[in-house]
Amino acid sequence: MLLIRSLLYFGLMVLSTFFFALLIAVFGWFLPASASSLMAGWWGAINLWFLKWICGLDYQVQGSENIPDTNALILCKHQSSWETIALRWLLPFNQSWVLKKELMRIPVFGWALAVIKPIAIDRQSGRKAVKQVVKEGIEHLRKGQFVIIFPEGTRVAPGERKKYGIGGALLAAKSGYPVLPIAHNAGVFWGRRGLIKYPGTVQLVIGPLIETKGLDTAEINRRTEKWIEATMEKLPDRISV
């Protein structure tokens, strides 16, 4: 039954992604940027609804009051595909994501991404990618967007951790914008390479803003990692039976 439900959700996710990506790719060039952001947000909302009613996978958010009225740099734990869906709906819609440029080559989906204007990097280019994140990130922040980065660079299984890259912290240090850290345990229910979605409730915690003015890159990274990883230790890392 888990497999059937997961396959049903997968099919609906593909269809909904194609539908919204086509809308954004066709109309996004003529409508205000806020309209494309709104459509992307509704894509996230619909998929969260599918997950709840088909797979029994719900979510609970703590710390919503920490989301600032103005924009910020968001550094989030990366365990699953779930957060790439959920953050579109749970955060203000004016978002720019740092993502791998290969995604831009996917027909229709990549066209929609081009409209939304993410920061598409070559993860193998090292310092060049970091400079790109800083340069384009500052531009997006100054336009009033939330810039979203997964500091570990890739999905990490529950109970594991990976070195935090400096790109996000360097962007914060150079721009002076605060960091909003986010922790969650979505990987417990939707594995990083898994098809099965287990029923349960994802716990997502939004931390207090980390003010970055006067701090260097290393200290920003240290404070961000310390809060995220300490919060992760408090969250369930396995399914209760």
Rounded to 5°, angle at Cα 52 from 50 and 58? 135
Give the three-class secondary structure for 78. coil
Task: List the chain domain ranges.
Answer: 2-232
The pTM (predicted TM-score) of the whole model is 0.95
CATH number (3.40.50.1260, 3.40.1130.10, 1.10.10.10, 3.40.720.10) of 2-232 reads: 3.40.1130.10
Instruction: Give first-to-last CA distance, the chain, whole Å.
Output: 17
Which parts of the chain register pLDDT below 50?
none
User: What's the confidence (pLDDT) of residue 238?
Assistant: 82
User: What's the confidence (pLDDT) of residue 189?
Assistant: 97
User: What's the confidence (pLDDT) of residue 44?
Assistant: 98
User: What's the confidence (pLDDT) of residue 241?
Assistant: 55
d(CA 113, CA 134): 19
Residue with tokens 């992604």: 17
